Amino acid sequence: MRTFPYPLVLAAMLAACASSPQPQPDAASTPAPAAPAAVSPPASPASSAETKKEAPDPVASADAARVAEFARQVTPLVDAFINSEALFTRDGKQVLLSSNRDGLPQIYIADAARPDSPAKRLLNWSERMTITATTPDGKSLLFRSDKGADENWSLWKVNLDGSQPVELTPGEKLNRDGAFVPDLAPDTVYFSARRMNEASSAVYAVPLAGGPSRQVLRDDKPGFLSDVSRDGKQALFLRYLSGSENYLQHLDLATGNTRPLYPQSGKVTIFSARFSPDGKTVYVATDGGGEQAWLLALDAQSGKELARYVEKNPTTATIGGVAVARSGDAIALSLDAGNRSEVRLLDARTLKPRAPVALPLGQGGVMDFSEDGKRFTAIWSTPSAPADAWVVDAKTGKVAALRTEPRPSLPEVPAIETSITEIRSHDGLTLPINVYLPKKRSGKLPVIVSYHGGPAGSSKVKWSASIAFFVAQGYAWVEPNVRGSGGFGRAFEEADNGRGRVEAFKDIEATGRWAASQPWADSNRVIIYGGSYGGYTVLIGLTRMPQLWRAGVNLFGVANMKTFMATTSGLIREIFLLEMGDPDKDAAFLSSISPLEDANKIVDPLFVYAGANDPRVPRGESDQVVRALRDRKIPVEYMVAENEGHSLARKENLIEFLARSARFLEKHAGPTQAP
């Protein structure tokens, strides 16, 4: 079967578009070759009755010229496109790429032997796309697309020449996951999905040639299809009761029957699970209920452990993704080390390291092996280089660029000094922090303290158009990983669960005060910034320690735990029962940690962004905050993107957001002296 590894780390999903939206380019930076006429996915049914919404703010006429100037400055950085997925075609001669070079994530195809060859847009599509799998005959590609970033993903098939796109899953809107096409039973596609308002999940089968979907399995709890064997007879289904309690089940695809595979007892986190090519072994990435990352080789029938790899450096990392060579001799792992990513290459039979894979300090991960198993693709980003595709030799671990496309809009990357440091919180807990500073600087700098989403996400050292833009404007950019962040061990990630949330609030203050006290920092101009759970963090900071901040920037942050738990997707609500608390049993506590309850304490100016179609943190959360501040005449500016969800996926929206938020901070936190 030819498909991406599908790492099931829900924290990554919750943290998407968290602190630093990714750059979104347009056609001006890299003109795309001619493509077929635009094809639009079917229109969505009319939504249910709308509740009253708070009106967004237009750009004030007095600010228009300055916003336009900021937009002009940020556009080259946003135009420095990223390649975010890379998959070899079956014959290994071409590479399929997901890239935002035309302003929205789209799919491209290029010569795999020539890193500088032009990438041709596969087809002209009106919504974002993500690569899913190639078909066993090597002629077609499966991809997913949603509408307005609403995360109701539908599955499509298209020929590799861009012709004949066909929707395989028309009809009911579902939140569909990645799909699997068994190599030896290629007539059927399998995927997991759920209704957006329900916690229960199901596994479906749909004919590759088209036809109605058939339900194979339904579970009353969240779950994900993690892999399907090459013969199409068995599958791996991961029940995701919470971030720290997962159960891997063996699924008979003919009968729909399941049986437990791992763990036999106790509570563990499972990050990914994959079959060996012969279907006799299952590779499970887990923490085993402890602090270290394991890759276990289990007998697919009995669950008996056959071999084990234990990650020892760093000891608290997690294995976020597993790719297995179809030749059966190699495994590649994506390692989440909290503030950075790493890659491991193992022998598939012994699970012993095969060769080191040397990639620079940054963020990324393994994609998939070539058909012959001799190489695999990876995506990697560093503070000075946008995410791009690399190829790794599966025997030696040698790394080479798979793409060397120019970014003509970015002739010179802004000079950024990047470092990782650690501080102690109030109780002695170590908190890692990423710091980005202008290399050329003088005097005290205004500081943006950016908190990631999740809450079990993490801030990794990486390229970000947002960071590059604000550092170029003369800001210091600081990214704390407070307790609850992933990649630093099970105990650290669980430390903010339930009433531990209050301890995490103290970390916000500790890291904010540390940033303000640095020799390069202007302590009177510290800005709190974040998206999703990071946006919630912004609101907590502004309500509980308002004297620390000069202003805030909140992207789709939770304001009211009661309304959030009532309106977010059923999947996220179920997971947050442990993470945050039960709306019925813990109502008083949830009220006490809802920023809206203390909105009268906010005195700092606030910029708020929301996507109108957001299924995770619905727009109503942002409306409530804006309304509360407007009623008290606190400076607030509200931007709503009608064609976005929990995202800033479209280039024009990202440019507007960065330009408007920069002007807002300039007005309310004072101008900078850009280096």
Burial category of 15 from C-beta neighbours within 10 Å (exposed 0-12, middle 13-18, buried 19 and up): buried
Hey, what's the torsion of the CAs at 411, 415, 421, 424, to 10 degrees?
A: -110
Does residue 435 register a pLDDT over 60? yes
Average pLDDT rounded to a whole number, residues 222-239: 98
Task: Write the CB contacts of 95 (distance below 8 Å, at least 6 apart in sequence).
Answer: 86, 87, 88, 89, 109, 110, 111, 112, 377, 389, 402, 403
Task: Write the CB contacts of 558 (distance below 8 Å, at least 6 apart in sequence).
Answer: 533, 535, 536, 539, 564, 595, 617, 621
Does residue 35 register a pLDDT over 70? no
Does residue 163 register a pLDDT over 50? yes
Does residue 234 register a pLDDT over 80? yes
Average pLDDT rounded to a whole number, residues 565-584: 89
Task: Give per-residue pLDDT as tens, 100-116.
Answer: 999 999 999 999 999 99
pTM of the predicted model as reported, rounded to 2 decimal places: 0.92
For residues 560 and 562, what is the distance between their CA atoms, to the nearest angstrom? 5
The answer as to whether 331 is a domain residue is no
Average pLDDT rounded to a whole number, residues 480-508: 95
Least confident of 101-110, 245-254, 301-310, 568-577: 568-577
For residues 464 and 648, what is the distance between their CA atoms, to the nearest angstrom? 13
Hey, what's the torsion of the CAs at 464, 150, 367, 126, to 10 degrees?
A: -90
The answer as to whether 185 is a domain residue is yes
Task: Tell me if residue 497 falls in helix, strand or coil.
Answer: coil
Task: Give per-residue pLDDT as tens, 373-396.
Answer: 999 999 999 999 999 999 999 999
Task: Write the CB contacts of 650 (distance below 8 Å, at least 6 apart in sequence).
Answer: 24, 103, 104, 641, 643, 644
Is there a single domain that holds both residue 570 and residue 660?
A: yes
Task: Give per-residue pLDDT as tens, 408-430.
Answer: 998 787 799 999 999 999 999 99
Task: Give per-residue pLDDT as tens, 70-82.
Answer: 999 999 999 999 9
Does residue 538 register a pLDDT over 90? yes
Nearest to 457 by CA among 243, 231, 232, 180: 243
Is there a single domain that holds both residue 70 and residue 151?
A: no
Is there a single domain that holds both residue 186 and residue 70?
A: no
Least confident of 27-41, 50-64, 412-426, 611-625: 27-41
The answer as to whether 596 is a domain residue is yes
Per-chain mean pLDDT for the chain: 91
Task: Write the CB contacts of 585 (distance below 8 Å, at least 6 apart in sequence).
Answer: none
Task: Tell me if residue 641 falls in helix, strand or coil.
Answer: strand
DSSP secondary structure string for all residues of 218-268: EESS-EEEEEE-TTSSEEEEEEEEETTEEEEEEEETTT--EEEEE-SSS--
Does residue 236 register a pLDDT over 90? yes
Amino acid 670: pLDDT: 84
Is there a single domain that holds both residue 473 and residue 595?
A: yes
Q: Which amino acid is at 471?
A: V
For residues 193 and 204, what is the distance between their CA atoms, to the nearest angstrom? 8
For 23, phi then psi, to 5°, come to -65, 140
Does residue 327 register a pLDDT over 80? yes
Is there a single domain that holds both residue 651 and residue 581?
A: yes
Where residue 92 falls (left for φ over 0; alpha for ψ -120 to 50; beta otherwise) is: left
Nearest to 658 by CA among 476, 492, 470: 470
CB 563 within 8 A of CB 586: no
Strand order in the sheet with 430-438: 416-424, 430-438, 476-480, 445-451, 521-531, 551-555, 606-611, 636-641
| Angle subtended at Cα 206 by Cα 378 and Cα 643, rounded to the nearest 5 degrees | 60
Q: Count Cβ atoms below 10 Å from residue 196 Cβ, excluding itself.
A: 17
- Here the tokens at position 539 are 């609101």
Query: Which residue is associated with the tokens 């012709």?
Result: 163
Between 231 and 32, name the one with better pLDDT: 231
Task: Give per-residue pLDDT as tens, 328-374.
Answer: 999 999 999 999 999 999 999 999 999 999 999 999 999 999 999 99
Domain-ending residue, one of 177, 204, 220: 220
- Here the tokens at position 276 are 């060996």
The answer as to whether 285 is a domain residue is no
Amino acid 50: pLDDT: 42
Amino acid 51: pLDDT: 62
Task: Write the CB contacts of 261 (distance below 8 Å, at least 6 apart in sequence).
Answer: 236, 248, 249, 250, 282, 298, 300, 303
Give the C-alpha distances (Å, rounded to integers) separating 428 from 456, 480, 505, 506.
20, 15, 15, 12
CB 273 within 8 A of CB 43: no
For residues 407 and 427, what is the distance between their CA atoms, to the nearest angstrom? 46
Task: Give per-residue pLDDT as tens, 631-666.
Answer: 999 999 999 999 999 999 999 999 999 999 999 999
Task: Write the CB contacts of 65 (distance below 8 Å, at least 6 apart in sequence).
Answer: none
Average pLDDT rounded to a whole number, residues 614-631: 97
The answer as to whether 261 is a domain residue is no
| Angle subtended at Cα 553 by Cα 446 and Cα 443, rounded to the nearest 5 degrees | 5
The residue range of the domain holding 208 is 126-220
For residues 104 and 26, what is the distance between their CA atoms, to the nearest angstrom? 8
Q: Which amino acid is at 487?
A: G
Task: Tell me if residue 419 falls in helix, strand or coil.
Answer: strand
Is there a single domain that holds both residue 68 and residue 192?
A: no
Amino acid 638: pLDDT: 98
Amino acid 45: pLDDT: 35
Amino acid 411: pLDDT: 79
For residues 267 and 243, what is the distance between their CA atoms, to the nearest angstrom? 10
Amino acid 576: pLDDT: 86
Is there a single domain that holds both residue 153 and residue 71?
A: no
CATH no. for residue 558?
Answer: 3.40.50.1820
For residues 23 and 489, what is the distance between their CA atoms, to the nearest angstrom? 30
Task: Give per-residue pLDDT as tens, 438-489.
Answer: 999 989 999 999 999 989 999 999 999 999 999 999 999 999 999 999 999 9
Is there a single domain that holds both residue 70 and residue 159?
A: no
Instruction: Place 514 in a pLDDT band, splitting at 50, 70 and 90.
Output: very high
Amino acid 672: pLDDT: 79
Q: Which amino acid is at 272?
A: S
The answer as to whether 461 is a domain residue is yes
Q: Which amino acid is at 199?
A: A
The answer as to whether 658 is a domain residue is yes
Domain-ending residue, one of 220, 238, 262: 220
Q: Which amino acid is at 295?
A: L
For 38, phi then psi, to 5°, come to -60, 140
Does residue 608 register a pLDDT over 80? yes
- Here the tokens at position 441 are 């600087």
For residues 584 and 566, what is the distance between their CA atoms, to the nearest angstrom? 11
Q: Are strands 341-347 and 353-356 parallel, antiparallel or unpaired?
A: antiparallel
DSSP 447: E
Is there a single domain that holds both residue 458 and residue 573?
A: yes
Task: Write the CB contacts of 601 (distance below 8 Å, at least 6 apart in sequence).
Answer: 542, 543, 544, 546
Is there a single domain that holds both residue 69 and residue 189?
A: no
Helix (H) or strand (E) segment spanning residue 471: helix 465-472
For residues 495 and 259, what is the distance between their CA atoms, to the nearest angstrom? 32
Is there a single domain that holds both residue 465 and residue 585?
A: yes
Does residue 118 register a pLDDT over 60? yes
Is there a single domain that holds both residue 68 and residue 209?
A: no
The total number of structural domains that make up the chain? 2
Between 582 and 611, name the one with better pLDDT: 611
For residues 141 and 30, what is the distance between their CA atoms, to the nearest angstrom? 24
Domain-ending residue, one of 193, 220, 247: 220
The answer as to whether 569 is a domain residue is yes
Does residue 287 register a pLDDT over 70? yes
CB 35 within 8 A of CB 119: no
